[in-house]
Amino acid sequence: MGSSLLFLRGSEAASMPAAQMAGRQARIPQISLRGVTVRYGGTTALDSVDLDVASGEALVLLGPSGSGKTTILRSIAGFNRPSAGRIALSGRDVTDIPPHGRGLGMVVQSYALFPHMRVAENVGFGLRARGRSRDEIGRRVAECLALVGMEGFGRRYPRELSGGQQQRVAIARALAIDPPVLLLDEPLSALDAPLRSGLLEEIRNLHERLPQLAIVYVTHDQSEAIALGHRIVLMREGRIAAQGTPRDLHDSPPDRYTAEFFGQANLLPVEPVGGKAPAGLIAVRLGGQRLLVRARGDGAMPRAPLLCIRPHDLHLDGAAALPEGPVNTLEARIVSAQWLGTVHRVQAMIGAERMRIDLPGGATAPRIDTVAALRFAPERASLVEGG
Ligand code: ADP
**Ligand 1 mutation pick, 39, 62, 71, max ligand atoms within 8 A of CB:** 71
Whether pLDDT at 321 is above 90: no
Q: Which residues, at least 6 apart from 214, have a Cβ–Cβ distance to it below 8 Å?
A: 30, 31, 53, 54, 55, 56, 57, 59, 180, 181, 182
Closest ligand 1 atom to Cα of 64: 3
**Among residues of the chain, what percentage have pLDDT more than 90?**
73
Q: H/E element holding 106? A: strand 105-107
Chain segment 68-92, per-residue pLDDT in tens: 999 999 999 999 999 999 999 999 9
Q: What is the CA(232)–ligand 1 centre distance, in A?
A: 20
Chain segment 220-273, per-residue pLDDT in tens: 999 999 999 999 999 999 999 999 999 999 988 999 999 999 988 999 999 989
Closest ligand 1 atom to Cα of 61: 3
Nearest one of 106, 105, 78, 80 to 92, comparing CA atoms: 78
For residues 340-355, one letter each, b for 16 or more C-beta atoms within 10 angstroms of the residue's C-beta and e for the rest, the string is eeebbbbbbebeebeb
Crossing angle of helices 163-175/193-209, nearest 10°?
20
**What residue's CA is closest to ligand 1, atom 24?**
40
Q: What is the CA(40)–ligand 1 centre distance, in A?
A: 8
Q: Determine the pLDDT at residue 261.
A: 93
Q: What is the CA(230)–ligand 1 centre distance, in A?
A: 25
Amino acid making up residue 37: T
User: Within its chain, how far is the Cα of 3 from the centroid?
Assistant: 15
Whether pLDDT at 276 is above 70: yes
Q: Determine the pLDDT at residue 170.
A: 94
Chain segment 144-197, per-residue pLDDT in tens: 999 999 999 999 999 999 988 999 999 999 999 999 999 999 999 888 887 888
Q: Which residues, at least 6 apart from 43, have a Cβ–Cβ distance to it below 8 Å?
A: none
Across the chain, mean pLDDT equals 89
Region 317-327: mean pLDDT is 68
**Ligand 1 mutation pick, 36, 39, 43, 189, max ligand atoms within 8 A of CB:** 43
Q: What is the CA(245)–ligand 1 centre distance, in A?
A: 26
**What residue's CA is closest to ligand 1, atom 25?**
40
What is the pLDDT confidence band of residue 3, given thresholds at 50, 70 and 90?
very low
Show the CA angle centred on residue 179, arms to residues 46 and 125, nearest 5°: 105
**What residue's CA is closest to ligand 1, atom 23?**
40
Contact 340, 303 (CB under 8 A): no
Q: Determine the pLDDT at residue 198.
A: 85
